[in-house]
Chains A and B, each alone.
Chain A
Amino acid sequence: MGDPPPAPDLSARQPSSRRSSQVSEQRSQERAQLPPAVPDGVQQMPLDAQVLRSSQEILESQANLQSWSQGASLSPYEQLAMFQAEEAQLGGMEYPSLNRGFPSEFLPQPYLDGGGIQVPGNASLMQQLQQGRGNVFQELESAYQEPRPDLLGQFSMYQREDLQFSASAQHGPYMSDDPALQFSPSELGFMSFSMQVPEPEPRELAVQNAKAYLLQTSVNCNLSLYEHLVNLLTKILNQRPEDPLSILESLNRTAQWEWFHPKLDTLRDDPEMQLTYEMAERQKALFVRGGSGEGEQDMEEEVTETAVPNIMETAFYFEQAGVGLSSDESFRIFVALKQLVEQQPIHTCRFWGKILGLSGSYLVAEVEFREGEEEVEEEEVEELTEGGEAMEAHGEEEGEEDEEKVTDVIPKPTWKPPPVIPKEESRSGTNKFLYFVCNEPGRPWTRLPHVTPAQIVHARKIKKFFTGHLDAPVISYPPFPGNEANYLRAQIARISAATHISPLGFYQFGEEEGDEEEEGRAGRDTYEENADFEGIPVLELVDSLANWVHHRQHILPQGRCTWVNPLQKTEEEEELGEEEEKADEGVEEVEQEIGPPLLTPLSEDAEILHTSPWTTRLSCSLCPQYSVAVVRSNLWPGAYAYAIGKKFENIYIGWGHKYSPENFNPSLPGPIQHEYPSGPEIMEMSDPTVEEEQALKAAQEHALATAEEEEEEEDEDEDEDADD
């Protein structure tokens, strides 16, 4: 810091300003009250010290002070040192920023502001001192009376009053316009005396003791009031708010908060609110009404035709039941569904529920398209099956390539995959409805693919949390065929089949449907609303589970609602695999799976470990007349239904997990396959030992030698023959 040390400035300024500001005019008045000259002489010494200090270095004054008030109960030297260290630090810290804001004529007196910062605290303390005569004051009193035991009682009393003022007078130069200074004429009156018989050290001591008091840290916090006030005032002076007094309370609070939350890095924070604004912007679109002028004219027609369900009504009833989302969220879902209905060719629409996920939740809408509006889905499916075929074709090609080489034919596996059970067609069984999901109202709705039986079968074996991302892989054992969207769809199908219930009689089977078609199957799979349904009294609904029926088809172990014989081949397959089929014939006959028929009462549901799978109750026991009947599923925690009069609704809000009294036990991997039986044909020949090799070598050499000998003999013979 380039600033001069503030303390000498302080000491140099004190006497002159005191003289100029308060003292001169009241001097005569004060003199009249003066006691005899004896104390005057005694107090001459401090004056000398004062003069000395005004002209000399601050260190000397400290020494003086120390010698002067040795009897003090608190060591003034230490306090002074602390005080001045504080001042220096304070000054150094503040000047650069403060000076920037000041007019140039203020600059030569930089400490003015530093002193000003201290003023409120000291001033208020002064008032305290005067009123309460606290410990500090008494300490002070005793401190500087000790060296003068011969003082007159009157004088000592006088001194006490003088002391009161001396502390404030010491800050005179910095308090010229401070209200604390304008106490009363009588108090000011002592100034002349204090001038004539100056007592700077006691005053300074008082200030320092006061400051020491302020600097005390409390037991449960290492922040002192002094530091806090300094921080606060620094903040105010730096920021220069419009009306500091009115926001003092909040400034006070934030100053302390910032102390607890130090800003360690200088990097600028992320624009945190951006996502929030983005989301609000998205949701704003929901609240804007579609058309402008023309739209209003069509309003009447729209009102009659919309497929959007009355979410707010069902939300109200579910709130009575103690479940469901808050009304705010319900309304957002309502407008989001409205948006969905406007975007898609939707015939009926229903809010299915909410599935919680690890990083996001799914809002699920159950819809039915108008007739002939499902081409998109079919195309997707075709792509998928084509992909599968392509894979198979590729496999065949590889096989052919291998066969070309022929040298080492890879044996074909005897294992054949179990036959794929065809999935149910749109608008039937598990695929009766289409489902749209979105993470939050306002985000785009995504359509879920149809579910396949294999997915349902595998979903029963695993227990996974949803992540909130539809394209997330489902890592599990046994492996799940598909990603999270497929898993979600499978769980939705399972939950719907198990928990969608309605009061008995609300739905009935269509009359025109013949029995012969459904012979031997799970029963008829369509129903219609019963126009004559009068509603079941709420109390009866609560009393008996027989008054509630499932209106979704039971899903068979196969993963379908209607059973198909997996061994029954379609024509194409028969052509392809005729030869292989002959071998399989007669091996097994699959037994047909039969589930409970549609509209079966809940009372026939299986128990979970001696517990009923359903719990019924009245929404409000205090007034049963107006309450609704609430049914809670114990098998799928989170599934609820209510009914009152002709109205009923189902909802599911939960993790998408089925309840099981036993702990979830992931299925273990299958048994290990046997090793290939090790026989001589796959045994590797053991390497010969050195001895064997040598023996062999020797044998070979021997053989060679004998052969040569023989040859030679033969040659000889030949020679002999030739000779012959």
Chain B
Amino acid sequence: MDAESLLLSLELASGSGQGLSPDRRASLLTSLMLVKRDYRLNCMEWSLLPPATDEMMVQTSVVKGRFTGDPSHEYEHTELQKVNDGEKVFEEEVVVQIKEETRLVSIIDQIDKAVSVIPRGALFKTPFGPVHVNRTFEGLSLSQAKKLSSYFHFREPVELKNKTLLEKADLDPSLDFLDSLEHDIPKGSWSIQMERGNALVVLRSLLWPGLTFFHAPRTKNCGYIYVGTGSEERTTGPGDPALKQGAEGWNVQMREDGGWKWLWEVTARSPLRKATSCTQMRAAHRSGSPTHLLLAAPQAEELTNSFQ
């Protein structure tokens, strides 16, 4: 949300129960104003965070649990590293120190990339490439506002390139130049609902609980705020020992399904009969961080258990 409309934005986003107390609101406004003026780094404890890198993401992905609130706090992570000592190869436990600051940066970057939202039409792209703010944007209409397809990921498009010509045929190249939320994987990772008697549309991310996007239809008011624990909803991966233990007698296998989407099938087969039972868990594999599997939020719990 913009600094200019901070108060209004906070008011509109308050439906999720998270906000800022009056004193924080006031001090934030003051300090944002100062940041804007001279980009001073240390006015009321603002500190510039280093830009996030992929390396950081891999490094911090092993840290679990909550933030402490102290950027200089160091998490300790023990990992096994293979050490070549002459001919012998043995594993050695190495304690890795990870600063909370690094983790914070990485999480902020992940949230920005995963769930920052902008309504369709708020930006437009010229044929030459530059993207401009659409000054004629007057907000979505009420019927548009209820559809997920009217909202875009505010990041470099990723999925758009993979679309077929047929799918692209209906798109307006000047407006539809970003990834729509509609085709997010896992499906159903957004909650969209109308509040205040249909006067406000609110999107909440289920992957990053705490992210609230709001938009008052037919006005320019829109924005998003994240107030949460900085943890993503995930499910376990196939290598998880808990799963292996639980899945005794079951055959757990990964199956690739279209690009980077993975199906994780847990099947049991009997030597005499055809499949006696089959349970399927869906998990979406995220490219770049093979250690984690996203939870297909609402579906993952809905395991089908069919006995044939």
A residues at B contact (CB < 8 Å)? 219-221, 253, 256-257, 260-261, 269-270, 272-273, 275-276, 279-280, 283, 319-326, 328-329, 353-354, 356-361, 440, 442, 462-465, 468, 475-477, 608-611, 619-620, 622, 634, 637-638, 651, 653-655, 657, 659, 661-669, 671-672, 675, 678
Contacts and interface: CB of A to CB of B under 8 A. Distances in A.
Nearest to A330: B14
Contacts of A256: 136
6 tightest Cβ-Cβ pairs between the two chains A and B: A653-B17, A279-B197, A322-B21, A477-B303, A326-B14, A272-B142
Contacts of B259: none
A269 B16 CA distance: 31
A275 B235 CA distance: 38
Contacts of A319: 19, 21-22
B99 to A, nearest CB: 18
21 contacts: A220-B130, A257-B138, A270-B143, A272-B142, A272-B143, A279-B198, A319-B21, A320-B22, A325-B17, A357-B193, A442-B197, A465-B298, A609-B64, A619-B23, A654-B17, A662-B64, A665-B236, A665-B242, A665-B246, A672-B250, A675-B273
Nearest to A439: B193
A319 B25 CA distance: 11
B281 A666 contact: yes
Given A257-B138, A620-B23, 7 more contacts: A322-B24, A361-B193, A465-B206, A651-B17, A661-B64, A664-B233, A669-B277
B41 interface: no
Contact of B16 (A220, A356, A622, A678): A356
Nearest to B175: A260
Interface in B113-133: 121, 124, 126, 128, 130, 132
Nearest to A441: B197
Contact of A666 (B204, B235, B248): B235
A675 B17 contact: no
A269 B144 CA distance: 12
Nearest to B24: A322
Given A279-B198, A661-B65, A321 B305 contact: no
Nearest to B18: A323
Given A462-B301, A675-B270, A360 B64 contact: no
A231 B298 CA distance: 49
B149 interface: no
Contacts of B134: 260
A413 B268 CA distance: 23
Contacts of A359: 191-193
Given A273-B142, A276-B197, A361-B193, A668 B246 contact: yes
Contacts of A361: 15, 193, 195
B157 interface: no
Contacts of B121: 260-261
Contact of B209 (A464, A608, A655): A655
Interface residues of B, number: 71
B297 interface: yes
A464 B279 contact: no
Contacts of A462: 301
Interface string B125-166: 010101010101010011100000000000000000000000
Contacts of A321: 21
Contact of A468 (B15, B24, B193, B277): B193
Contacts of A219: 126, 128
B29 interface: no
Contact of B240 (A221, A328, A464, A665): A665
B243 A668 contact: yes
Nearest to B270: A675
B301 A463 contact: yes
B23 A672 contact: no
Nearest to A465: B298
A320 B25 CA distance: 10
Contacts of B284: none
B295 interface: yes
B32 interface: no
Contact of B279 (A270, A326, A669, A671): A669
Nearest to A628: B21
B234 interface: yes
B198 A356 contact: no
Given A323-B19, A325-B15, A669-B279, A356 B197 contact: no
B35 interface: no
A558 B16 CA distance: 32
A638 B128 CA distance: 46
